[in-house]
Amino acid sequence: MRPATQWAREDLEALSAKGLRRVLEPLDSPQGAEVRVGDERLVNFSSNDYLGLAASPAVRAAAASALERYGVGTGASRLVVGDMVPHQLLEARLARFERAEAVRLFNSGYAANTGILPALVGPGDAVFSDALNHASLVDGCRLSRARVVVYPHADVAALTRALEQTPARRKLVVTDSVFSMDGDVAPLRELVAACEAHGAALMVDEAHATGVLGARGAGLCEALGVEDRVDLRMGTLSKALGGLGAYVATSRAVADLLVSRARPFVYSTALPAALCAAAECAVDLVEHDPAPRERLWGHIHRFTDGLRALGLPAEPRSAIFPVILGEPSRALDAARRLREAGLLVKAIRPPTVPDGTSRLRFCLSAAHTTGHIDLALEALRRVGVSRGP
């Protein structure tokens, strides 16, 4: 047996013993409120397709048209010959949507966060990161080789003390706007004030807020009116916009610097033109048709009320609702029982969440119906998931 195979088998056995081994389950249907997994037809509460645009006829038509004109692959990074007109059009459209000087595209949110941070800060600098930030921000902090200061979740007082006490050439604060595993939101107004008082830059990851929050769907920064006081706003094309990729809305100078310094941008083959066209169409729908977002928020309030009636804590802050159960075995068992009731709700376990906080994570979509929401609440009641660990 080859050494790597032996190592893998040992590690897989250890993961299985702890209830932490992952497996893949391919869908045999488009992404949507109801999906097919093998022979099962399930109501899907595990997708980030918040506005139901992943299978939108208009978005698919835009992608198909660009596919016919530009082909499948781009052939190179954008700095070589991979830059195409659809990339430029999408960046300009996103800049208008975000009301920013400029936008720079990336192939994923992970690529964006691990590219932006090392491009801006390095040795001699300090990055201040919320304790519950997404793994991509955590890894971006590490890759920057700057000093990393982790402050307690959403604790602006602790961050302020750290900013005061940490000597550094440059100081950069990074935070999610909507935290992906808990669904709560960052205290952005207070974070902006702390950064301005201490000469720090602020980067906000809007991945789970883009399309969901704000009058135009531009995210929490828009909802709170602080867009022009945040240095960088990272958004994704792969959640509420229904496609693939990510972007950062920022100043022209920062966007230009990323072309030379952000390694995932410099060294990755560019996004397919069809995905750019799809995203441009999705942005138009998000900005000009508020009905899906209004429908989503109706579901959010209905689900909040239902969870509270079951004795579960819930707040209408985003489309994400955790039902924390404690140990991985409890979360896996609850997910199995919900599946028997016709629901696809994946169990979330360490290291994605801290030890002792394994959970069911419900993600709501405008594509759901009120019947889907009520079905989920009734299934939770029937399987006895009516309190935390």
R_g of the chain, CA atoms, integer Å = 21
Q: Is 208 a catalytic residue?
A: yes
**For the residues of 17-35, what is the DSSP string, one character each?**
HTT--------SS-SSSEE
The DSSP letter of residue 268 is: S
- Range 28-32, long-range pairs (CB < 8 A, 24+ positions): 30/54, 30/55, 31/55, 31/242, 32/367
The DSSP letter of residue 229 is: G
Of 87, 134, 171, 239, the active-site residue reads 239
Rounded CA-CA distance 307/385 in Å is: 10
| Cβ proximity of 127 and 172 under 8 Å | yes
Of 208, 299, 346, 368, the active-site residue reads 208
| Cβ proximity of 96 and 138 under 8 Å | no
| Cβ proximity of 355 and 346 under 8 Å | no
Q: Is 239 a catalytic residue?
A: yes
Q: Is 18 a catalytic residue?
A: no
Of 180, 238, 358, 365, the active-site residue reads 180
Contacts of residue 265, defined as CB under 8 A and 6 or more positions apart, other chains included, come to: 77, 78, 104, 106, 111, 115, 258, 259
Where would I find the beta strands (DSSP E) of the chain?
34-37, 40-44, 102-106, 126-130, 147-151, 171-176, 201-205, 232-236, 246-250, 320-326, 343-344, 347-348, 358-363
> In terms of residues, how long is the chain?
389
**Which helix H or strand E contains 303, and what residues bound it?**
helix 291-309
Catalytic positions, please? 180, 208, 239
